[in-house]
Amino acid sequence: MSKNIIQSIVLILAILIVLAFLGVIYGMYLKISTSDINSSNSSLYFSTLLIDKEKIKNIEVIDNKNILILIEGNNKMRGLIYNISDNKVIREIVR
């Protein structure tokens, strides 16, 4: 092979390496910047208003619209039935 062909191949590979590096940096930037935007604009925040020393023990799916959240603390257990489509607690069950 001639010297010019080898130099051309090295130059093309160097350009491809630089482009790949810039692509990785740009992809990392998109990943970091969009995750903050998506979480701050989300309207799916849920607060159980937990009292001190209460913790969520289990979350179970009841059907397509409702979930059951079991909360344990202060020697008692309570359950909240939460409607996903309305974003509110439908019923509280205390045991």
pLDDT above 80 (res 44): no
Mean pLDDT, to the nearest integer, of 20-49?
A: 74
The candidate with the shortest Cα–Cα distance to 71, out of 63, 62, 80, is 80
* Highest-confidence segment of 18-27, 40-49, 75-84: 18-27
pTM over 0.85: no
32 — pLDDT class (breaks 50, 70, 90): confident
Closest CA to 79 of 25, 8, 90, 13: 90
Q: What is the pLDDT of residue 82?
A: 92
CA distance 26 to 87: 36
Give the model's pLDDT for residue 48: 61
